[in-house]
Amino acid sequence: MGCYRIQLVAIVSFMLLLPNTQGWGEEGHAIVCKIAQARLSTAAAEAVKKLLPKSANNDLSSKCSWADNVRVVFPWSSPLHFADTPDNVCKYKDTRDCLDHKTGTKGRCVVAAITNYTNQLLDYGSETKSKYNLTQSLLFLSHFMGDIHQPLHCGFVSDRGGNDITVHWYKRKQNLHHVWDSSIIETELERFYDDLDDFVDAIQKNITKVWADEVEEWENCSNDDTSCPVPYASESAKDACKWAYEGATEDSVLEDDYFFSRFPIVNLRLAQGGVRLAATLNRIFDTQFAMSV
């Protein structure tokens, strides 16, 4: 009896320690936000500083997982972290895929959420007080811009973006979604970098050197829109098929072959997430600034 009880307590405590399975892990989100904050224009940096809670010490990355932490108190926000697609179509289609799969309500997915919180932030600095809490708008936008770049956030509905596929990450039992949220990043940190900032530095170097010619295209938003999340979801849906699901069926053992071919994709998506978050915030707050001058 007593033995079972201890086991149960141990299992429950362990579950509470497990990272949330609906977004890059803490590290992935922090990386995206560190990359973004370093690229803000003067006006955007100023606005972000004003909007962040005092406890953040003007460090956006410290609040980038806030949206995961409030999923219990804001249950309506759960479907806003992803946009899964039908199996094996490998394409995102807004009219078909942006919905809360539990209730069937349309327009409840990460793509719509990015547009929603971008629009709310456009109220910043206007004379009439926004009806939204713009601190929350900033924290949601910063988090969702990370999520939409995690390929398995645009994975298949039937396996819940890889959450229902059990694999082995080296020796350890893990679900495929978590491998992409956290395990690949953690293994990179263990093997290649001293700490998170060292990892961020390496990505930033590649943004200015290896990817320099592509960055303008990443930032680009057609039709003068302030944010354009649809192509980001399409890229993720494609990467989910090509890289995440490929070779990772139920009970697969994922080791060096998988790790070495996939970590460059993870790094690219973290870089794009950071660059695009900065570009979006710059468009939001530079517009505001221009209007108030």
List, in sequence order, every beta strand (DSSP E) within 11-110. none
Binder of ligand NAG out of 116, 150, 234, 236 (CB under 6 A): 116
**Cβ partners under 8 Å of residue 118, min gap 6:** 141, 226, 227, 280, 284
The distance of Cα 194 from the centroid of its chain, to the nearest Å, equals 23
| Interaction of residue 45 with ligand NAG, rule CB under 6 A | no
The sheet carrying 172-175 orders its strands as 172-175, 166-169, 253-254
Number of neighbouring beta carbons within 10 Å of residue 228: 18
Q: Which is nearer to ligand NAG, 87 or 216 (CB)?
A: 216
| Interaction of residue 127 with ligand NAG, rule CB under 6 A | no
Which of Zn ion, ligand NAG, none binds 147 (CB below 5-8 Å, type-dependent)? Zn ion
- Tokens 């759960």 appear where? 78
For residue 292 the two structure tokens come to 């108030």
Site string for ligand NAG, 176-205 (x = CB under 6 A): --------------------------xx--
Which of Zn ion, ligand NAG, none binds 44 (CB below 5-8 Å, type-dependent)? none
- One-letter amino acid for residue 62 of the chain: S
Looking at residue 182, the DSSP 8-state letter turns out to be I
Binder of ligand NAG out of 59, 69, 71, 132 (CB under 6 A): 132
| Interaction of residue 8 with ligand NAG, rule CB under 6 A | no
Q: How far apart are CA 110 and CA 78, in angstroms?
A: 10
Q: Report, in Å, the least distance between residue 8 CB and ligand NAG.
A: 33
Residues that bind Zn ion (CB under 5 A): 22-23, 81, 147
Residues that bind ligand NAG (CB under 6 A): 53, 76, 80, 107-108, 112-113, 116, 132-133, 135-136, 202-203, 206, 210, 216-217, 220, 222, 264, 267
